[in-house]
Amino acid sequence: MENIETKLREEASRLLLEKKVDVIIGYEKGTLPLTATPCFITKPEETEKLVWNNFCTQNLAKYVHDLITQHKNSQKRVKPEDRKKKIIGVVARGCTTRSLIIHLQERQCGRDEVYIIGVPCDGYVDGKGLKAAISGADIVDGSIDGGQIKMKTSDGDKTVDLKDVLADCCKTCRFNNPIISDVMIGSPAPAMNPDAEYEDVREFEGKSTEERWAYFTKEMDKCIRCYACRQACPSCYCPICFVEQSQPQWVGIGEDPSDTQVFQLMRLYHMVGRCVDCGSCVSVCPMGVDLRKFLKKIDKDCFEFFGNRAGSSMEDMPPLGKFDEHHDKGDFVYNP
């Protein structure tokens, strides 16, 4: 990874110097041990901050969308001939590029407004999983060494295998290398284990209706309605989310279980053909709600019904934007 970091910094610095991009969205070291956090780089000398490691969690496509929207809004009152173009560079792994493809397919930005610095990815560490693996101890210091995370914790020295604490979405990732990029740093990462990606969903499908409902309600009971999942999601970019519709109100703002369930249900369902399984929503959730169990089902249906994997190809159309007369199944239609 060291090598990739060096090349990444060089490339980022070159892009800024040559004014190919106005800003680069990447990751820098966090203030806590074993963390990385999104950062925005506008000066070549700041590129030294950039890091690329297994703690780079967030899907940065979200910020690309934010910056483009802000820029577009700032240009609204400018005469068309005087409008400036802003090009956003982004450090992108496989899932980030999938989200960018979705944005492009949904006409959220032009391909020339984004400069994709592709990086290979061997998965990121699930912070909550890591914490659970060390029985909730506080990490005082740590490093990754030869596939192992070595830590000093409040409970003594601990070592865990990196592959054991990777996020679930990374363990079974199918697209861990960028699908589209303007420049590629490093060589492609080895494949993960995509054959197992629907194992959890299949197991859950095998349960009874009441068991499934019990699990859904149990998970939703954890939710504190902080909306971190929605905010972290690159596909959740509605200017006003339905839960924030207040005139009239669509969903109650309180802790009533049905309100929380409806919020989550509608957000999850809004992800048909749009969830790239980047795991951002899962990683940001402060309460550890198992959102992936439900999102992965949507992904599976989308693939099994329509042969679509969200954001996996620039040539695809959004699956809910088309219809295939010959292959779409009709068994959901009720015929008395």
Partner 1 sequence: MARRKFATLKSFLNYIGVEGDRTIFTWVSASEGDRWAQVIKGATEKIRALGPANKLVKKIG
Partner 2 sequence: MEKRLIKKDALAGIAKKMAEKLHVWAPVKKEDNVLFAPLKKDDEPFFAYLNSQNAPKNVFFPHTETMMKYTRTPKGMVFSSEENKADEAVLFGVRPCDAHSFVLLDKLFDQEKYKDGYYISKRQNTTVISLACVKPPYISCFCTSVDGEPVSSDGADILLTDIGSDCLVEFITPKGELLAPYFGDTKADAAADAKKNEIAAKAKEAIKSKIPAHEIKPILDKNFDNPFWNTIHGKCLACGTCTFLCPTCHCFDISDEVKGSDGVRIRSWDSCMFPLFTKETSGHNPRSSQKERWRQRTMHKFKYYVDMFNAIACVGCGRCVRSCPVNIDIRKIVEDISKL
Query: Which residues sit at the interface with partner 1, rule CB under 8 A?
Result: 204-205, 209-217, 252, 256, 258-259, 261-262, 265, 268-269, 272, 294, 297-298, 301-302, 305-306, 319-323, 328-329, 332-336
Euclidean distance between CA atoms 218 and 37, whole angstroms: 31
Identity at 182, one-letter amino acid code: D
The position carrying tokens 């290979």 is 120
Site of interaction with partner 2 (CB under 8 A): 30-33, 35, 37-40, 58, 62-63, 128, 131-132, 136-138, 140, 154, 222, 224-228, 230-232, 240, 244, 246, 249, 252-256, 283-284, 286-288
Q: Are 178 and 97 in contact (CB under 8 A)?
A: yes
61 binds, among partner 2, partner 1, none (CB under 5 to 8 A by kind): none
Q: Least CB distance from residue 254 to partner 2, whole Å?
A: 4
Q: Least CB distance from residue 333 to partner 1, whole Å?
A: 5
Identity at 166, one-letter amino acid code: L
Q: Least CB distance from residue 222 to partner 1, whole Å?
A: 15
55 binds, among partner 1, partner 2, none (CB under 5 to 8 A by kind): none
Beta bridge partners of 39: 26
Euclidean distance between CA atoms 122 and 166, whole angstroms: 9
Q: Return the number of the residue (59 or 260) whose C-beta is nearest partner 1.
A: 260
Beta bridge partners of 91: 117
Burial 322-336 (b: 16+ CB within 10 A, else e): eeeeeeeeeeeeeee
- Tell me if residue 104 falls in helix, strand or coil: helix
332 binds, among partner 1, partner 2, none (CB under 5 to 8 A by kind): partner 1
Q: Least CB distance from residue 152 to partner 1, whole Å?
A: 42
